[in-house]
Structure 1
Amino acid sequence: MVEWDIRKLQILRTLRERETVTATAEALRMTPSAVSQQLTNLARQLGVPLLEAQGRRVRLTDAARLVLRHAEAVFEQLERADAELAAYTQGEAGEVRVGAFSTAVPALVVPAVRALRTRHPGVSVRVREAEAGEAYELLAAGDVDLALSLAAQAPTAADPRFTRVPLLADPLDLALPRDHPLAAVDGLRLADLAGEPWIFGGSGPWSDITRGACEAAGFSPVQGHSAAGWTAILAMVEAGMGVALVPRMAVVAREGVAMRELTEDRPRRHVVAAVRKGAGEGAAVGRVLGVLREVAGELSEGAQAVTR
């Protein structure tokens, strides 16, 4: 029977994700020569070639992909074993490391931490602000236990490494200068602002969300100014420099800004959590996920109350 080496399989898995030996070595804090040696030893143990040259790089063979397909089930089972062992030894105690995008921290994570202090004081949360790309790298590397991101930036449900958990459909409201002629108009639609200068990031998910919402309403937004932070965007709106779509959970009240709910073409952004496959069964991670769902549900109910 073949001798399976979990550490070497993890190196092969990381190579598949990082694509080069150098990047794999950096991710695993190894030298490139050590990575190459371990993979050569693994190929010898398994009796099949795992890598083949492709120019100055290497690519995984079909045999390597077959091995990894089966190894994913092993990794998932090991995560489940770790989770069950932690639940056995710690019970209600444990630390959960959370990577979350900026607006999710005050809106979702902080209220969840407050609730956990009351209900499960033995469960602590360590928060790391991280945008989606970094958060999922940290999650895959084991540096965080739970990642929060927009659904559009999350790995697909078919990704064998993670389990996705839907949390929230966050409504997008329209931010206008307080003295804008449409600031007090009932039944406001996105199309009513088609001729306005819009403020949003030059690229990335928020640019895509704004453009997509406006195009669904029948027009392409003219970008008057580019900004990524909500403080900067709302300050420019307050100064009369343009209008913007702002997620409800990111809004900070400003005297000179009128926040208006859209009665039609109401866009939303979807927020999800993700854990490594099998890890969600751990007591501490499960507690944090449960409280995050509750906080998200309260936010959703609040949003529905606003619309009624």
Structure 2
Amino acid sequence: MTDWDLRKLRVLRALGEHRTVRATAEALNMTPSAVSQQLAGLSRETGVQLLEAHGRRVRLTDAAHVLLRHGDAVFAELERAEAELEAFARGEAGRVAVGAFATAIPALVVPAAADLRRRWPGLAVRVREAEAAEAYGLLAAGEVDLALSLAADAPSPRDATFERTVLLADPMRAALPAHHRLAAAPGLRLADLAEEPWIFGDSGPWRQITEHACGAAGFTPDQAHSAADWSAVLSLVEAGMGVALVPRLAAPAARPGVAVRELRADRPLRHVVAAVRAGAGGRPRLARVLGALQRAAAEHADGPAPPFSDHEQSEQ
């Protein structure tokens, strides 16, 4: 029976994700020659060819894909084993690293960390700001233990690498200049803003969210200004330069020159999810942190976060 070298198997797994030896080396903080040596050693240990030339690069053989499929199961089982072993401890001490997008930190992570300090002073949260692409890379690499993102940015629910929990359905509100003719109009709908100049980013999920919400209301928003930082967006609105959709988490405090209106008839939402590595959800420390995040999310919610479909995820 082969003695598996998990370090080499992790290198192969990283190559399958990053595609090239150079990118794999950068992701693992190794040299390309070290990556090649690890893979050559794994090939000798398994007795099969794992790489084949493909132009100036290499690609995984069919045997390598079989090994990765079983390797993923091995890593998931190891995570489950560690979770069961940790269950023998109380889980009231230690450190949990959380990767989260910017607006989730003050709205969810900071209140959750304060909650944990009150309940279990020995349990510390280490926060790392990271947008989704980075956060899930850090989670897969073991650099963080839990990642927060929008559902639109999260891997598919069919991705067996992670376990996901919906934390919050965050309602989007319309931000208008305080002197706008519709600032106090009753029953405001998105369609009422169809002819207004709009403020949103040039790319990324928030552009998609804005365009999808407006499209569902029957119009295409006219982008007058491009901004992604919420402070910049609200400053432009306050200056009377346009309107914007702003999630409740991003603008909890009122600004004197901005009227923030609920869109109860349209009710556009974005979903916030938490993810852990497959098999790790049963770890006591992670369960405590996730519980604290759920309590923090409940403070912002009108009700329980509804489930979202794959279609909603792809559109938001």
- Interval containing the TM-score (normalised by the shorter chain): over 0.9
Contact 1:87 1:284 in 2 (8 A): no
C-alpha contact (below 8 Å) 2:177/2:259 kept by paired residues = yes
Distance in structure 2 (CA, Å) of the matches to 1:46 and 1:90:
40
Matched with 1:230 is 230
3-state SS in 2 of match to 1:208: helix
Match in the other structure for 1:268:
269
Question: What is the aligned partner in structure 1 of residue 308 from structure 2?
Answer: none
**Secondary structure at 2:88 match in 1:** helix
Following TM superposition, by how much is the alpha carbon of 1:240 offset from its aligned partner in structure 2, in angstroms?
A: 0.4
Q: Where does 1:99-110 land on structure 2 (aligned, <5 Å)?
A: 99-110=99-110
- Residue type at the aligned position of 2:207: S
Shift of 1:118: 1.3
1:21-32 pair list within 5 angstroms: 21-32=21-32
What are the within-5 Å matches in structure 2 for residues 176-195 of structure 1?
A: 176-195=176-195
SS in 2 for 1:78: helix
- For the aligned residue pairs, the C-alpha RMSD in angstroms reads 1.6
Who is 2:18 aligned against? 18
Shift of 1:81: 2.6
Amino acid at match of 1:178: A
TM-score (norm 1): 0.95
Kindly state the Cα deviation for residue 80 of structure 1 after the two structures are TM-superposed: 2.2
- For the pair 1:168 / 2:168, whether they are aligned, the reply is yes
Partner in structure 2 of residue 53 of structure 1: 53
For residue 272 of structure 2, what is the amino acid of its counterpart?
V
Q: Distance in 2 between matches of 1:303 and 1:143?
A: 30
Query: For residues 243 and 303 of structure 1, do their structure 2 counterparts lie closer, same or farther at Cα, with a shift above 3 Å needed?
Result: farther
| Number of equivalenced pairs | 304
Compute the displacement of 1:87 (Å): 4.3
Shift of 1:190: 0.6
- CA 1:248 to 1:9, structure 2 compared with 1: closer, same or farther past 3 Å? same
Q: Is the 8 A contact 2:100 2:127 kept in 1?
A: yes
Match status 1:216 vs 2:216: yes
Residue type at the aligned position of 1:202: D
Q: CA deviation at 1:84?
A: 3.5
Instruction: Name the structure with the higher helix share.
Output: 1
Cα offset, 1:133, TM superposition: 0.8
Q: Which residue of 1 aligns with 2:283?
A: 282
Residues 3, 46 of structure 1: 8 Å contact kept: no
Structure 1 position 85, deviation (Å): 3.5
Matches of 1:122 and 1:85, distance apart in 2: 19
Deviation for aligned residue 1:117: 1.1
Report if aligned partners of 2:149, 2:273 keep a CA contact under 8 Å in 1: yes
* SS of residue in 2 equivalent to 1:164: strand
TM-score, length-scaled by structure 2: 0.92
In the TM superposition, residue 241 of structure 1 has moved relative to its aligned partner by 0.3
2:260 corresponding residue in structure 1: 259
Q: Is contact 2:168–2:304 with CA below 8 Å preserved after alignment?
A: no
Q: Distance in 2 between matches of 1:28 and 1:154?
A: 22
Q: Which amino acid aligns with 1:22?
A: R
1:90 CA displacement: 6.2
Partner residue, 2:140? 140
Give the match's secondary structure for 1:281: coil
On the 8 A contact 1:176/1:244 being kept in 2, the answer is: yes
The answer on whether the counterparts of 1:171 and 1:303 sit within 8 Å (CA) in structure 2 is: no
Q: For 1:178-235, what per-residue CA distance to the aligned partner results, in whole angstroms no more than 9, with x for missing partners?
A: 1111111111111110000000011100011001111111110000101001111111
Q: List gaps (5 residues or longer) in structure 2.
A: 306-316
Higher mean Cα deviation, 255-264 or 218-227? 255-264
- Residues 39-62 of structure 1 deviation map (CA, whole Å, 9 limit, x = unaligned): 112112212211111111111111
Q: Deviations over 1:246-291 (max 9, x none)?
A: 0011113100111111132221001000111122211111100111
In structure 1, how many angstroms separate the alpha carbons of the residues matched to 2:269 and 2:59?
A: 40
Q: Does 1:9 align with 2:35?
A: no
Q: Mean Cα displacement is larger for which, 157-166 or 139-148? A: 157-166
What SS is found at the alignment partner of 1:174?
strand
Q: Distance in 2 between matches of 1:122 and 1:280?
A: 20
Distance 2:263 2:28 in 1: 48
Secondary structure at 2:2 match in 1: coil
Counterpart CA distance in 2 for 1:146 and 1:270 is 17
